Amino acid sequence: MPHFLFHLRDGVDRTLDPESVELPDMDAVKRKALEAARDVTAHGIIDGKLDLNLRIDVEDENETIVYTLAFRDAFEIVPPD
């Protein structure tokens, strides 16, 4: 099964994933990236900060970016009525 790394980036800085995750296919990669983005966002909201400049870049075993998820695409913002 292929291994993937999930790196957190903001366009300037990055937090590199030190350990890879085994996932069976790209659908699983996309679900894991979405889960990770929502988890980081939830922690940021708890701390009083919502940073929509972040993204997750997923790299395969060859260090090739195979998927990118911008945090702004990880959830729907519902405006007040």
What is the structure's pLDDT at 10?
A: 85
Domain-embedded: residue 45: yes
* Residue 24 lies in domain: 3-73
Domain-embedded: residue 7: yes
What is the structure's pLDDT at 14?
A: 77
CA–CA distance, 55 with 79 (Å, rounded to integer): 23
Per run of 10 residues, the mean pLDDT along the chain (length 81 residues) is: 92 80 96 95 90 93 95 91 86
What is the structure's pLDDT at 6?
A: 94
CA–CA distance, 48 with 11 (Å, rounded to integer): 21
Q: How many domains does the chain contain in total? A: 1
The predicted model scores a pTM of: 0.87
CA–CA distance, 78 with 13 (Å, rounded to integer): 29
Domain-embedded: residue 9: yes
What is the structure's pLDDT at 16?
A: 76
